[in-house]
Structure 1
């Protein structure tokens, strides 16, 4: 599978192990692999995770011609008709749920994921949206739980 062969004579062939160049960077995607020589062999498939509000199209496979097959992350529409809110500036689509368990279950069923407030901009955008909609920020939780160890929140 990793070999590319060419005929040299009528009944013989010359085979070499083929490799692709370094994997491409994919816009709106995180590479879920560490680049090794083995990963660039023909037939290797590279796992990527698309950013929030993007979905994968295609797959990144090292082809026999030494090129990577096309893989990209395309933007998804925010289903605002299903109680989601779109914050254009951050390209963030979110939905408020009544409990951690319901939110986690909804995310699993819909292919989404719980929000991670990993930047000041994202945190402020969510807080501004809550305040703008005249809701009390103290009634919201962001998914911290001490389910495994009492008083140790993760």
Structure 2
């Protein structure tokens, strides 16, 4: 779940996301040594995904009635529905919170009938350049 508080969120290639998490963890362990323990780190990450998913749902869901961009800008930006659905997809596999996972899975089933949106795309920097595009 990359950059969970940003309106300009897209997806990252898995290897880039892993490297970013490793770099962050390497720095934060100096202040919180207990996070060097994988079980402590993973438990905290699962809780963070749950909390941020609930937060994003509460804040964004009322504004998805009429889908629109997360922010008004000329740059590429995902829609609220794309971001929220992506967050639910990530959260639907979180272990240790079965009622939460079931709730998110049900939300995904319900919106699949109503929301006709493309998957959340990759950050433009990680997207392949099409033949009809000129390099910037």
TM > 0.5: no
Q: Give 1 or 2: higher strand fraction.
A: 1
Q: TM-score, normalised by structure 2?
A: 0.29
Q: TM-score, normalised by structure 1?
A: 0.27
| Structure of greater relative contact order (alpha carbons < 8 Å, 6+ residues apart) | 2
Q: Give 1 or 2: higher helix fraction.
A: 2
